[in-house]
Structure 1
Amino acid sequence: MIQLRELHKSYLVQGNNIPALMGINLSIKKGEIYGIIGHSGAGKSTLIRCMNLLERPTTGEVMIDGVDLTKLDDRKLQEQRRHIGMIFQHFNLLSSATVGENIAFPLKLAKRPKAEIKKKVDELLKLVGLEDHRDKYPAQLSGGQKQRVGIARALANDPKVLLCDEATSALDPQTTNSILALLLDINRKLGLTIVLITHEMQVIRQICDRVGVIDGGLIVEAGDVVEVFLKPKHPTTQEFVEQVADSHELREAVAYEKASGNRTIARVTFLGEQTYKPILFQTMQETGTVFSILQGTISRMKDTPYGQLVVELEGSAEQNSQTIEKLRQRGLEVEVI
């Protein structure tokens, strides 16, 4: 659906070329929610704006549904952009227009008939839950309501792709959750391909299928969210995972327990239906191993339940090794810390 090939973007600053993106290669499947996560200045906003050529790449290809946008003239590019919706961090609504008028704006630009515009606006107001706010102005809306208007406006031309540029970073946590739930609902109802950039791992974990981690203008790690989240390889990815893993408290607990004697501390990961089965307890009973839980969580990544427990095994070295091997044989991921 979306393919970026050897994408480079540089800016001329005081006579010097400053690279923002360096050889980005990405493939995003039709109908998936793809997250791009990175720190401020990593290049993520530049990357997403290159996808609809709001920023024109210095070199490289931007293929959307088999069409290379970089090869199009202005008129054809404008036509292709109608198939690419975009929502922004700060909403970018017309302050002097009502909610209904904001949603209708791209349809008027496309010179659609009035009856068609009214019908489409009605449909979109219902989709985003703003039927009672049609005649209000942006100043009368909350941040979450403004973003819902932005989403409805981005969907007006029935796009194939929706680009989300930090769409939730100006919102409080509760409102963020409602907007993410709306995007997930839209993805499922419309089969829309969504590309979402953020600096929050919780956002990625909640609705994305796959993720790319960007650092210094490079994609440093990419893959299924479950795989990347549970087995982060690059230091930048590990930093983001720590946002939702209480790792500081864990490091203190591990340091304390290690200082107390020769004990084995392991992180046990459950995935899917394993999460709700007493595999750990049954294994410890079989091997006669005494254990204590230092840290634990059960959560979901989009539709996939998972759990992680950090446990201290208090048996002999041989007994602990046997226990770990049995856990692995039963399909659990076990990492000795």
Structure 2
Amino acid sequence: MIQLKGIQKQYGTGAAQVTALKHIDLTVNKGEIFGIIGHSGAGKSTLIRTINLLERPSAGQVLIDGVDMTALGTGRLQEERRTIGMIFQHFNLLTSDTVAENIAFPLRLAGQSKAQVAARVQELIGLVGLDGHGDKYPSQLSGGQKQRVGIARALATNPKVLLCDEATSALDPQTTQSILSLLLSINKELQITIVLITHEMQVIRSICDRVAVIDGGEIVEAGPVTDVFLKPQHPTTQEFVAQVEGNLNESLTVKNYAAGERTMIRITYIGEQTYEPVLFETMSGCNVPFVILQGTVSRLKETPYGQLVLELRGAEPEAIRAVELLRSRGLDVEVLRHG
């Protein structure tokens, strides 16, 4: 669906040149929600804006459904851009226009008739949950309502791709969740491909299928959210995961870890196994006492998962046998410490 090949972006020239993106290669599949997460200044805004060429890359190709956007002339590029909607962090609404007029704006630019515009606007107002607000002005709306207008406007021309540039960062947590739920329903109902950037791992965890982590203009880690979230490899990814999961190394330090014949392990459950008594059944059969030190049960989009940190009390051979039994039940078990 979307392919970024060898994307580079530099600003300035000579000694003043700054490299914002370095050799980016990414593929976004049709119909998925793909997240790009990074700190401020990491290059994520530049990256998402290369997809519709609001930022033209210094090198590389942007292909959407096989069409090389970087090779198009001005007229053809404008046509292709109509197939890409964009939602902005600060809404970018026309303050002197009503909700209905804001949504109608791209339809009028596309040359649709008044009847077509009116019908489409009413359809979109209902889709984003703004019934009864069509005649209001942006100043009369809450932040969440303004973003719903932005979403409706982005969907006006039936795009096949929806880009979200920090679409929830200006909203409170409750409103953020309602907007994420709306994006998820739009993705399911319209089968529209969504690419979003954020600095919040909670956003990625809530709705994304896959994620790329960007740091210093480079993709440092990428993959399915379940893999990246549950087994982060890069320090930047680990930092983002700690935003929502806490930091094991901080809460279970060597200082407060009891020494002796004790083994600390981390068990990861994914899917319906999360809700089954696998731990009880397995540990009952191997007669190794244990203490739960830390645990969580939650969801990654629609996939349930759980993580438990246990202290196994007993000699190392018994602890190893317990670990092997847990793994034989299909659990992911990592030995964190033995002492």
TM-score, normalising length from structure 2? 0.97
CA distance in 1, matches of 2:310, 2:141: 48
CA distance in 2, matches of 1:255, 1:123: 59
Mark the CA change 1:146 to 1:123 in structure 2 (over 3 Å): closer, same or farther: same
- The answer (yes or no) to whether the contact 1:254–1:265 under 8 Å persists in 2 is no
Instruction: Provide Cα deviations, 1:138-196, integer angstroms capped at 9, x if missing partner.
Output: 01111000000000000000000000000001111111100000000000000000001
Amino acid in the other structure paired with 1:141:
L
CA distance in 1, matches of 2:214, 2:200: 13
Q: 1:49: which partner in 2?
A: 49
- The answer (yes or no) to whether the contact 2:42–2:216 under 8 Å persists in 1 is yes
Q: 2:160: which partner in 1?
A: 160
Alpha-carbon distance, 1:251 to partner:
2.9
- The answer (yes or no) to whether the contact 2:8–2:22 under 8 Å persists in 1 is yes
Amino acid in the other structure paired with 2:33:
I
CA distance in 2, matches of 1:17, 1:174: 41
Alignment of 1:1-337 (within 5 A): 1-12=1-12, 16-247=16-247, 251-337=250-336
Amino acid in the other structure paired with 2:298:
S
Alpha-carbon distance, 1:258 to partner:
2.6
Amino acid in the other structure paired with 2:140:
Q
Amino acid in the other structure paired with 2:242:
E
Amino acid in the other structure paired with 2:220:
V
- The answer (yes or no) to whether the contact 2:261–2:314 under 8 Å persists in 1 is no
CA distance in 2, matches of 1:110, 1:189: 24
Alpha-carbon distance, 1:245 to partner:
1.0
Gaps (5+ residues) in structure 1? none
Secondary structure of 2:10's aligned partner:
strand
Secondary structure of 1:308's aligned partner:
strand
RMSD: 1.2
Mark the CA change 1:14 to 1:144 in structure 2 (over 3 Å): closer, same or farther: farther
Instruction: Provide Cα deviations, 1:273-320, integer angstroms capped at 9, x if missing partner.
Output: 110111111111101111111111111111110000111111221111
Secondary structure of 1:136's aligned partner:
coil
Amino acid in the other structure paired with 2:194:
I
Gaps (5+ residues) in structure 2? none
Identity %, equivalent residues: 65
CA distance in 1, matches of 2:259, 2:143: 50
Instruction: Provide Cα deviations, 1:187-245, integer angstroms capped at 9, x if missing partner.
Output: 00000000010011110011000001101111111100001111111111111111111
TM-score, normalising length from structure 1? 0.97
- The answer (yes or no) to whether the contact 1:257–1:263 under 8 Å persists in 2 is no
Following TM superposition, the consecutive aligned residue runs of length 4 or more in structure 1 with deviations greater than 3 angstroms are 259-262
- The answer (yes or no) to whether the contact 1:211–1:224 under 8 Å persists in 2 is yes
Instruction: Provide Cα deviations, 1:111-139, integer angstroms capped at 9, x if missing partner.
Output: 10000000000110000000111011001
